[in-house]
Amino acid sequence: MIQPGASKTEAVRAVFVIDPKGILRAMVYYPLTTGRNMQEFVRLIDALQTSDKYNVATPANWQPGEKVIIPAPKTIEMVEENLKTADEVVDWYLCKRTLE
């Protein structure tokens, strides 16, 4: 990728994560002076796949095997269900659990 203002001839490092449906899920740009972190890209793909498979969110710096965030409830019944399945309750709207 050539990026105006960065260089007229050197490519800016960019990584695009595109899912099997052709949907762009993540874009990461690095300046010319900074190397990329391959472990972070693997973590990013693991997090996206986990979110899709289990309908959960992953917190910052999440690693496979760590707790995930249960989606925020939209009804009283969902609050009760989240509280039953949670390993950690931060508040009624923020619950975490370990995947099996």
pLDDT value at position 14? 86
CATH of region 38-100: 3.30.1020.10
pLDDT value at position 7? 67
Query: In this structure, which amino acid lies at residue 1?
Result: M
**Stated pTM of the model:** 0.81
pLDDT value at position 23? 97
Q: In this structure, are residues 19 and 49 in contact, taking their beta carbons and an 8 Å threshold? A: no
Torsion of CA 13, 19, 21, 26, to 10 degrees: -60
**DSSP designation for 75:** S
For the chain, the domains span 1-36, 38-100
d(CA 66, CA 62): 7
Query: Can you read off the two tokens belonging to residue 37?
Result: 């972190």
- Give pLDDT tens digits along the chain (100 positions): 666 676 677 777 889 999 999 999 999 988 878 888 899 999 999 999 999 999 999 999 999 999 999 999 999 999 999 999 999 999 999 999 999 7
* Burial class, 28, CB count within 10 angstroms (exposed 0-12 / middle 13-18 / buried 19+): middle
Q: Look at residue 30 and give its three-state secondary structure.
A: strand
